[in-house]
Amino acid sequence: MSVTLVKERYSSKVGEVVLGATPEQGGTRTSTVTVGGDSALPYLHFEGQMPNRPVIAMEVTDVVPTWNELITKQIGDVINNPAAWAKKCVDEFGADLIYLKFDGADPDGENRSPEDCARIVKEVLAAVGVPLIVEGCDDSEKNNDVMTAIAEAAAGENLLIGIAEQDNYKSIAAAAMVHKHTLIARSPLDINICKQLNILINEMGLPLNKIIIDPTVAGLGFGIEYVYSIMERARLGALANDKMLSMPIICTVGYEANRCKEAYASAEEFPGWGDLQDRSVLWEAVTASGVLQVGASILVMRNPTAVSLVQKHIADLMNK
């Protein structure tokens, strides 16, 4: 007896967003990255199109990060130099994009000036040809100054800049609009605020294809199933023609996975957990795989070995 597959039909699809700009488009990138465009649930290739594979952005920070040695050793000496570090991520680890985070701008830390941050962005732009994602620090007031300076210094590059949040989106949204960048809209694991923030940003005049959703994620074991359900609702909304939830999604997987104790506690401390080297890589890679299954378009990752695993996984998933 032959079996006919029941196929869902959707009335709409996830929007496509282009990151970066080549010289013809007003920037200096050697290539751009396009994300989104999915017309079905993730990897159900028999139900719809997934024209763009998910991409991996690798984290680079302006100050030497306090990460686990298992990661910093793989990065090596270049960890003192954001431009060289970024180049290594692209040349050796195969990063599709660079995610540059200015932890050093925090007033409670090194308090790096907005001008100095802009200088580092220019250096990284000069060192690599891939598009850049740039985030400031966790102090929202300082962040507005930093991101305004960076947006202006890199005008036309179509950076993906962040973070816009419900309580603080106007300044950065204006900077994105004026200097032709794309914006990350972050909501605190809340589908209603996610949608509302997109509406508010769009009302300011930033087109929907210049917004990327950051729903806030969690590491494996720390609420990833809740992340999954929020992202699933957003995706089903997009496929049912909810334009205000139809943007591609970015997930800060490396940051979240490596905050989990399982990703850094030694085997001596927890003998039942097994070898740390494998566990650390798998914690980040499995967190990434989880959000891929529910439609993440951009993964922000940290551990080069985990990146390599997930690259292979994405290639498998995209193989029809």
Partner 1 sequence: MIIFGERINGMYTDIGDALRAKDPKPLQYWATKQEEGGAHYLDLNSGPAIPKEERAAAYEWMVNVVQEVSELPLVLDSTNYDAIEAGLKLCKRPAIINSVDAEPDKMERVFTMAMQHNAGVVGLCMNKKGIPLDHDLRVAFAMEIVATADGFGLPMEDLYLDPLILPVNVAQEHALQVLETLRLVKTLSNPAPRTVIGLTNVSQKSPANITSLLNRTFLAMAVSAGLDAAIMNANDEDLVDVAATTEILLNNKIYADSYLKVFRSR
Size of site (CB under 8 A) for partner 1: 14
Of the pair 199, 315, the CB lying nearest partner 1 is at 199
Give the Å distances, CA to CA, from 89 to 55, 57, 58.
Answer: 14, 9, 7
Least distance in Å: CB of 224 to partner 1? 21
Question: 163 preceded by cis ω (within 30°)?
Answer: yes
- Which of 277, 291, 218 lies closest to 248, judged by CA? 291
CB of 194 to partner 1, least distance (A): 8
301: which strand partners? 58
Specify burial of residue 223 (Cβ count, 10 A radius: 0-12, 13-18, 19+): middle
Residue selected from 63, 90, 174, 200 as contacting partner 1 according to rule CB under 8 A: 200
Tokens at 308, concatenated? 């390599």
Report the number of secondary-structure helices (H) and strands (E) in the chain.
Answer: 10, 10
Pick the piece of the chain touching partner 1 (CB under 8 A) from 60-68, 79-87, 95-103, 198-206.
198-206
CB of 4 to partner 1, least distance (A): 15
Q: Which of helix, strand or coil describes residue 180?
A: coil
Contact in structure between 125 and 157 (CB atoms under 8 Å): yes
Q: Which of residues 175-194 bind partner 1 (CB under 8 A)?
A: 191-193
For partner 1, give the closer residue by CB, 19 or 185: 185
**Per-residue binding letters, 230-259, with partner 1 (x by CB under 8 A):** ---x---x----xxxx--------------
Q: Which of 196, 209, 216, 293 binds partner 1 (CB under 8 A)?
A: 196
Token pair belonging to 226: 């809740």
Shortest Å, Cβ 298 to partner 1: 22
Running DSSP on this structure, what letter comes out for residue 161?
E
Q: Is 195 in the site for partner 1 (CB under 8 A)?
A: yes
Q: Rule CB under 8 A: is residue 210 a binding residue for partner 1?
A: no
CB of 198 to partner 1, least distance (A): 8
Q: State in angstroms the smallest separation of the CB of 188 from partner 1.
A: 14
Nearer to partner 1 by C-beta: 39 or 143?
Answer: 39
CB 44 within 8 A of CB 107: no
HSE-CB for 242 with a 13 A CA cutoff: 17
CB of 199 to partner 1, least distance (A): 5
CA–CA dist 294, 41 (Å, integer): 8
Residues engaged in binding partner 1 (CB under 8 A): 191-193, 195-196, 199-200, 203, 233, 237, 242-245
